[in-house]
Every structure is written in structure tokens, then in C-alpha cells.
């Protein structure tokens, strides 16, 4: 707790995609011991918590998001002893550990599903979603898989279809069945007893499906070149009202243990996203806010986006921001290398809990993966329209030794072309690097509670500059971000004598400013307005 506040309100979360973080057993795939080995680097960076994408036992058809045992570690990543050591080492350094929980679907190799599909009278038949064929034959309705094709897979042995929102090897669990709910609550308790500090819940808005299995309506705005599942509006397969009852149950389970965090992965418009805080804030603590992942990168649009989100939050609801993750193109690929530094300042100075995706602190690029190296099942199922996620999952770039210090053998995905220069070891020595910008911003967040816990107030500006105050008690900071590549000037409030705490240009840190401040192209500033 921070005073009376939970730890996660002032924390910075760092997402680790474990397959690509650090390999210690020479198989080209990252592992748990690799995360433990790199904890000093995370301390040096200044983050407070790590969220680890799935490390559970899995056939890896969707690289861990197809779980065959919810209470075991996959040998690719190590052993349960390795996991327990990671938790102990992280906690000893003051770092919280958050696990990725994937409750919507299991692997088709999970013992639950093997029993469910054994016969129509199996004790676990109703643990998954089974339906008879349509009257004329074929799938029960028109529901589509997120990864292409029908969401229904026929099981010849029992003569019924099972539902899968993603791969046909990822059957959806039936969250209307109390036995499923009870089993999943026990999974959460198992990991919390291990010392886990929280969970990021995968596709949480998918958990409940329509009781009547009605067809989804066509999407009138669908056009060629978009993922085929978007041809339908998922009216009866996602974001159903009953999902909030399930989430409330998960929250009560997490609340059985002190100071635990529940995060929900939810890709929905803001007005629907905020419902996931739950009645009386009894839902997830943080419904992930992905607005920046697809935002148009101009000051006017970003200001409107921030204002809409702040205005939609329920009373007492704590905001959060995400700039990148393992499913979306890298920020440097979206806005360019120079604006990636401005984006970092935006992420780490907005009100709320920020999440950094591993490698974004290096400005790692979005990598163009050759066709013969594609691993992502989404891209394999729906090729040619840019849905592949491999390009944001390439190995972490630690130094200029072989394979960027990630592995002593060829890694599971190719490295970015810039790894020999753009790596932790090199960037740490460059005062002007984006890595050192992240380090400076994270240090200032700890020194200035106004950045982590203060209020947000927009500053009236033109279309090229985004500016806002962060205020707490007598501390008042002004953040100014130049979203263009040309110089811009901002008139400060009358009589202001201020000091630059952090500039994306570094060499201006500590400079005094008054009257008007001029920013270079692609520059961002954190200004202490209390200085004299």
C-alpha cells in the first residue's frame, strides 16, 4: 500500500513475453531462469511489477494461450522450482509478479476437454460448449472464430460441435457451469498461495455466450482486407451483461488474499470498457485501456481521447494506459523512432497505472517476418492482411554479442536488423537514448508523487502540442509534448518560473524557463512549475 492506496496505483507494470526475453538453456526460447537472471536490469530500469505472459503447460499451438494444465509450468520455461525461485528473487528486490490467466478456453489436450469429448454423458461434457448440428446439417449457427473460419468444430465421435472463439485446438469453457467457475477459482488460489501478486485475465469480455445461441448480425461497415471474423458484430459472443457476475466472482476470489491485483484484457470502446470496473468497483481493478494502441497520433485527437476516458471513469475507478503489447505492432513501428520517445513520456506521465511492453524501452522496431519464419497461427490462418503478431514478439536485444545476448543458439524468431547497435548495453551508455529516457522518467515518477498519484488537468494548446498538468498538494508539473517534427513554442502561465525536469533531448534537463518554452521537433518536456 502507498499510504491508504493499493500498491498498483503508483506502480509501473512491465510486460514480459517470456519466449523472447532471455534463454538460459540454449533452446532458442526464453525461460523463467532468464527472467530471474534479468531482474537486475529491471531494477535498473525502475519498474515495480512484471506481468508474465503464459508459462503454464501447453502444446504451444498459440504459444501458451492454449493451456493443458493450469497448475503446472511448461518444461519449455522450466520447472515449478524455477518459478518459485523467480517469485522469491523478484519479491526480495521489491518487484511484484503478475501472471497471465487464460480462463476463456483451454487446450484441446487438457484433461478436462479430453473427458468432455469422450462421450455425451461424460461428467465434464457441460464444462465446454457443445451443440447439435443445425437442422439441415453443418454448424449450429454463424459464429466466427477470431482466427478465421467457423467457431464450431465437429466432433465425429459424439456427433456434436464444440465452440472455439480462437483456434479449433482452443475449446471455450462453459462459464455458465458452476463447476467450471469453482475449478477456476481454485486455480487462482493455487497461484496466489505461491505468492503471485495478481492476474491479467485474457479476453475476459468473451467469457459468457448467448444462452439461445442466436446468429450474430452482419457488420455493415465490414470491408475486404479486414480480418474475416469482423464480418459479423459479436453481439451474442462477447460483452454480454452476465459476464459481470462472473468477473465479480473472480474479484471476490482474488480479494481472499491481501493486496492482489486483477486486470482484464478488454478490447471495447471506452463507454463499454468502464463497465468492467463493476458495480461498486467490484469488477477488475484495471480494465486494460488500449486506446493508445490504435490512436491517431496528433495532439487534438489524443487530447480528446484522454478527456473522454477521464470523463467516463466511474467514481473511484483508477485509470491505466497501455502503449504496446504482444498482440499489436510496436509503438516505434506505428509512430516512428523519434515520436516513440514522446510516446514514452505520454505513457509515463498520464494519470493512472502504465504498462510497458518489453523492448519498447529500447524503441525496438516492428520486424517484417519472412514468410518461411512465420510462427503466429493467426497469420497462418489469415495470411496477407497484416494480422501477424510475430513482428512485435522478436527476441529482446541485450547486447551486441551473438543473437543480441538473448540466446547462444538461433532464436525461435528472427532478430530485428538493428540489434547490434540498438540494445540494452549500448543504449545504457548513451545519455540521449530512449532507454535512458525511460530510466529518467521512471526515476522522476518515484521522486514526484504528482506523476503517479496526482490529478490530471488539460492545458489549452494548439493542434501541434499536447500539454497537461499533473498536480498533488503543492507540486505542479506541466507536461508538454510536441507531436510534430518541427519546433513549437508554448506560452506558459503569467509569471511562471519553471525548471525542466525531463526532456526527451536529455541535455535540457535542469534548464530554467519562463514566459515561453520552445520545443524542438519530436521533443517532450516535464516541467516543474513550482521552481523559482
Name every residue whose Cβ is closer than 8 Å to that of residue 32 and which is 6 or more positions away in sequence: 18, 55, 73, 77, 78, 82, 83, 86
Q: Provide CATH code, domain 455-528.
A: 2.60.40.1180
For residue 231, report the phi and psi dihedrals to the nearest 5 degrees.
-65, -20
- Rounded-to-integer distance, Cα 301 and Cα 308, Å: 11
Reported pTM: 0.97
Alpha-carbon distance values, 71 to 30, 123, 188, 501 (Å): 20, 21, 9, 46
User: What is the pLDDT, as a whole number, of residue 496?
Assistant: 81
Specify the CATH architecture of the domain 7-106+177-441.
Answer: Alpha-Beta Barrel (3.20)
Residues of the chain with pLDDT under 70: 1-3, 531-532
In the set 27, 215, 256, 308, the catalytic residue is 256
- Write out 48-67 in H/E/C secondary structure: CEEEECCCEECCCCCCCCCC
Largest CA distance in the chain: 80
User: What is the pLDDT, as a whole number, of residue 2?
Assistant: 52
User: What is the pLDDT, as a whole number, of residue 4?
Assistant: 83
Where does 131-194 have alpha helices with state H? Answer: 178-193
* Beta carbons of 451 and 477 less than 8 angstroms apart: yes
- Rounded-to-integer distance, Cα 122 and Cα 24, Å: 43
- Rounded-to-integer distance, Cα 220 and Cα 425, Å: 50
Where exactly are the structural domains of the chain?
A: 7-106+177-441, 111-163, 455-528
User: What is the pLDDT, as a whole number, of residue 507?
Assistant: 87
Alpha-carbon distance values, 340 to 15, 41, 365, 369, 467 (Å): 17, 21, 10, 21, 17
Strand ranges (E), 173-228: 198-201
Active site residue 511: no
User: What is the pLDDT, as a whole number, of residue 3?
Assistant: 58
Q: Provide CATH code, domain 111-163.
A: 3.90.400.10
Active site residue 202: yes
In the set 146, 172, 202, 376, the catalytic residue is 202
* Burial of 268 from C-beta contacts in 10 A (0-12 / 13-18 / 19+): middle
Amino acid at each position: 500500500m502507498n499510504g491508504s492506496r493499493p500498491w498498483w496505483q503508483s506502480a509501473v507494470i512491465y510486460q514480459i513475453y517470456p519466449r523472447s526475453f532471455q534463454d538460459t538453456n540454449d533452446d532458442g526460447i526464453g525461460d523463467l531462469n532468464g527472467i530471474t537472471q534479468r531482474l537486475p536490469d529491471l531494477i535498473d530500469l525502475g519498474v515495480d511489477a512484471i506481468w508474465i505472459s503464459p508459462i503454464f503447460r501447453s502444446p504451444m499451438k498459440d504459444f501458451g494461450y492454449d493451456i493443458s494444465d493450469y497448475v503446472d509450468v511448461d518444461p519449455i520455461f522450466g520447472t515449478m522450482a524455477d518459478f518459485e525461485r523467480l517469485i522469491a528473487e523478484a519479491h526480495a528486490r521489491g518487484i511484484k509478479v503478475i501472471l497471465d490467466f487464460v480462463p476463456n478456453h483451454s487446450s484441446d489436450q487438457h484433461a478436462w476437454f479430453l473427458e468432455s469429448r469422450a462421450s455425451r454423458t461424460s461428467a465434464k461434457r457441460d464444462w465446454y460448449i457443445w451443440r447439435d448440428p443445425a437442422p439441415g446439417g453443418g454448424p449450429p449457427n454463424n459464429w466466427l472464430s477470431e482466427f478465421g473460419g467457423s467457431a464450431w468444430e465437429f466432433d465425429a465421435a459424439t456427433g456434436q460441435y464444440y465452440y472455439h472463439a480462437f483456434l479449433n485446438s482452443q475449446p471455450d469453457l462453459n462459464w455458465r457451469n458452476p463447476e467450471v467457475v469453482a475449478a477456476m477459482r481454485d486455480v487462482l488460489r493455487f497461484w496466489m498461495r505461491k505468492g503471485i501478486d495478481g492476474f491479467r485475465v485474457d479476453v475476459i469480455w468473451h467469457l459468457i455466450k448467448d444462452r439461445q445461441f442466436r446468429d450474430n448480425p452482419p457488420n455493415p461497415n465490414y470491408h475486404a482486407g479486414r480480418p474475416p471474423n469482423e464480418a459479423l458484430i459479436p453481439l451474442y459472443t462477447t460483452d454480454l451483461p452476465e459476464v459481470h457476475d462472473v468477473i465479480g466472482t473472480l474479484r471476490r476470489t482474488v480479494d481472499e488474499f491481501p493486496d492482489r491485483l486483477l486486470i482484464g484484457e478488454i478490447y471495447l470502446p471506452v463507454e463499454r470498457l468502464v463497465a468492467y470496473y463493476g458495480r461498486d468497483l467490484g469488477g477488475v481493478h484495471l480494465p486494460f485501456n488500449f486506446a493508445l494502441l490504435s490512436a491517431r497520433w496528433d495532439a487534438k485527437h489524443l487530447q480528446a481521447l484522454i478527456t473522454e476516458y477521464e470523463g467516463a471513469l466511474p467514481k473511484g475507478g483508477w485509470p491505466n494506459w497501455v502503449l504496446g503489447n504482444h498482440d499489436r505492432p510496436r509503438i516505434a513501428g506505428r509512430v516512428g523512432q523519434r515520436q516513440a520517445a514522446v510516446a514514452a513520456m505520454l505513457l509515463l506521465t498520464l494519470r493512472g497505472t502504465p504498462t510497458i511492453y518489453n523492448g519498447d524501452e529500447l524503441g525496438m522496431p516492428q520486424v517484417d517476418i519472412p514468410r518461411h519464419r512465420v510462427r503466429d497461427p493467426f497469420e497462418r490462418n489469415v495470411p496477407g492482411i497484416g494480422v501477424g503478431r510475430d513482428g512485435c514478439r522478436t527476441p529482446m536485444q541485450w547486447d551486441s554479442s551473438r543473437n543480441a545476448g538473448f540466446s547462444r543458439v538461433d532464436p525461435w524468431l528472427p532478430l530485428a536488423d538493428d540489434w547490434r547497435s540498438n540494445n540494452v548495453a549500448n543504449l545504457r551508455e548513451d545519455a540521449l537514448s530512449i532507454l535512458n529516457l525511460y530510466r529518467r522518467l521512471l526515476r522522476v515518477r518515484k521522486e514526484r508523487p504528482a506523476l503517479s498519484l496526482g490529478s490530471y488537468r488539460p492545458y489549452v494548446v494548439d493542434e501541434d502540442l499536447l500539454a497537461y498538468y499533473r498536480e498533488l498538494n503543492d507540486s505542479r508539473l506541466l507536461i508538454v509534448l510536441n507531436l510534430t517534427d518541427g519546433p513549437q513554442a508554448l506560452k506558459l502561465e503569467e509569471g511562471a518560473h519553471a525548471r525542466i525536469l525531463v526532456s526527451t533531448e536529455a541535455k535540457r534537463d535542469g534548464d530554467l524557463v519562463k514566459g515561453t518554452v520552445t520545443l524542438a521537433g519530436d521533443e517532450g518536456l516535464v516541467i516543474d512549475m513550482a521552481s523559482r
